[in-house]
Amino acid sequence: MAKMNDVIIYVISDAAGDTGELVVRAAVAQFHPLHAEIRRAPFVTDIPTIERFVRLAKEAGAIVLYTLVIPHLREGLRKLAEQYEVTAIDLLGPLIESLERQTGRQSRHEPGLNHVLDEDYFRKVDAVEFAVRYDDAKDPSGVLKADIVLVGVSRTSKTPLSMYLAHQKYKVANIPLVPEIKPPQELFLVPHRKIIGLTIGVPYLNIIRKERLKALGLPNSASYAAEERIERELLYAESIMNQLGCVVIDVSHRAVEETASLIMEHIRAF
């Protein structure tokens, strides 16, 4: 269930829904630390299914974003959104119609054409599975197999960055740096050019952690969000990053996409 102040967004698609989810994440990043709960409705093929999800969106007070290339499904959703008074955003329809007018050609109206099962697609799937498997030091051996290793204190966007970079076909592992826990020995065997240290300003991290505690229903006076604790964690993380000899990026006030762009620029330089 979504927490207070969360935004719920239904992504309805006649394909996998990846395009819609990526657009939602890019938009929501502009409202950080606001959290969006994305509920996918993939491979929709009929109007009754669309109506069911529109009703659910109405009940949840959610926004609907849809990527439907089949005209009667697109039109059906538009009418249902009006009927149920749900905010619905057609991501592909206007562009498809504009392209038809501009080119004088009809769309093929075939869902999923951008997911042709080619080598790039399978590389992306492998990278996403890798990011999930080696997230948050679940298995430290992953750092030895990764294209990129992210290190940093809690709430420096390690997991969102891992997933974003995975969609760019990079295999990413991430390791949290906590003063009470010694980093895995494997981390010191990774070439420094593959490691990215993530740091953040104390006041900014203090706000993010307080919001996180609030979302969990915990008091924001917990030591997790205390400035003294944050300063100690960041100093510890800095000492580890110095040992690793890695590049360090300050993620304060940066969207995930911007940080990811800096990381990819660094990786491509080698």
- Give the model confidence (pLDDT) of 240-261 as tens digits: 999 999 999 999 989 899 999 9
CA distances from 250 to 4, 18, 140, 157, 224 (A): 29, 29, 24, 11, 20
Q: How many CA atoms lie within 13 A of 121 on its CB side?
A: 9
CA distances from 248 to 44, 196, 266 (A): 43, 6, 11
Q: How far is CA 223 from the centre of its chain?
A: 27
DSSP reduced 3-state for 148: strand
What was the pLDDT predicted at 1?
Answer: 46
CA distance 97 to 193: 46
Using omega within 30 degrees of 0 as the cis cutoff, is the peptide bond preceding 42 cis? no
Q: Is the pLDDT score of 205 beyond 80?
A: yes
Q: Which range among 30-39, 47-56, 124-133, 142-151 shows the weakest confidence by mean pLDDT?
A: 30-39
Q: Which residues pair with 199 in a beta bridge?
A: 250
What was the pLDDT predicted at 4?
Answer: 47
CA distance 234 to 224: 13
Buried b (16+ CB within 10 A) or exposed e, 185-209: ebbeebeeebbbbbbbeeebbbebb
Q: What are phi and psi of 37, to 5 degrees?
A: -95, 115
Tens-digit pLDDT profile for residues 176-194: 999 999 999 999 999 999 9
Q: Locate all alpha helices (DSSP H) within the chain, ordered by sequence.
A: 18-28, 47-60, 71-84, 93-103, 119-133, 158-166, 202-215, 227-244, 256-268
The pTM (predicted TM-score) of the whole model is 0.62
CA distance 172 to 131: 5
Q: Is the pLDDT score of 201 beyond 70?
A: yes
What was the pLDDT predicted at 270?
Answer: 82
Provide, rounded to the nearest whole percent, the portion of the chain with pLDDT above 70. Answer: 96
Tens-digit pLDDT profile for residues 48-70: 999 999 999 999 999 999 999 99
